Amino acid sequence: MQKEDPRYIAYLSLLQQELVPAMGCTEPVAVAYAAAKARELLGDVPDSVHIGCSGSIIKNVKSVTVPNTGGMKGLQAAAAAGIVAGDPSRKLEVISGVTPDQFPLIQAYLTKADIQVDYLHSEHVFEILITVSKDTHSASVRITDTHTHITLLEKDGQVQYESPSESSEAQSPERQLLNVADI
């Protein structure tokens, strides 16, 4: 296949979209990313965290070690790591800069913050909705379809950003070019 071939260009584009650097298992890191982004939007460390996830996220995170946390596991640990020590600009490497000195801070946050987890009834196989609050302020971040596709940023009930789901991308012309023989 030549580099000018539309199929080659489509495959290269898809690889660039799908292969992104990540630290550890992508589901807990996506939760940490959403939580770090929510903390950033709130502008403060929240007292309360509500984590809503589709079933596939809950299943994949519940017993997985969250990278860079000293062995902590689960949705609450992933969210706490993102809130306490995450850098949302790093996306799926959001907690790559966490140091061992921060492990006790993450653990302390887990004991003092009210962190709730609920199953999110969703049409999306992959969906995370993190809502954080402190005093009278709140912020929400929704990620759907892929690990970094933010579809909602909301602060104090006001939508700051909203984007459609990526599910329509699955039917894009470049994806229709895919076939096993060419791969």
Give the DSSP letter of residue 65. B
Show me where the domains of the chain are located: 6-176
pTM, two decimal places: 0.85
pLDDT digits (tens, 9 = 90+) for 24-49: 678 999 999 999 999 999 999 999 99
Tokens of 140: 């929400």
Query: CATH classification of 6-176 is 3.30.1330, yes or no?
Result: yes
Beta bridge partners of 119: 53
pLDDT digits (tens, 9 = 90+) for 90-142: 999 999 999 999 999 999 999 999 999 999 998 899 999 999 999 999 999 99
> How far is it, in rounded angstroms, from Cα 62 to Cα 138?
25
Tokens of 108: 């302390």
The three-class DSSP label of residue 101 is helix
DSSP labels for 81-96?
Answer: HHHHH--GGGGGGTTT
**Number of helices (H) and strands (E), helices first, in the chain?**
6, 6
What is the per-residue pLDDT for 21? 64
Give the DSSP letter of residue 147. T
Which of 103, 88, 67 has its CA nearest to residue 139? 88
> How far is it, in rounded angstroms, from Cα 127 to Cα 167?
12
For tokens 């690990």, name the residue: 147
The three-class DSSP label of residue 27 is helix
Beta strands in 54-165 (DSSP E): 114-119, 127-134, 137-144, 150-155, 158-162
pLDDT digits (tens, 9 = 90+) for 143-159: 999 899 999 999 999 99
> How far is it, in rounded angstroms, from Cα 66 to Cα 72?
6
What is the per-residue pLDDT for 19? 65
pLDDT band (50, 70, 90) for residue 13:
confident
For tokens 């296949």, name the residue: 1
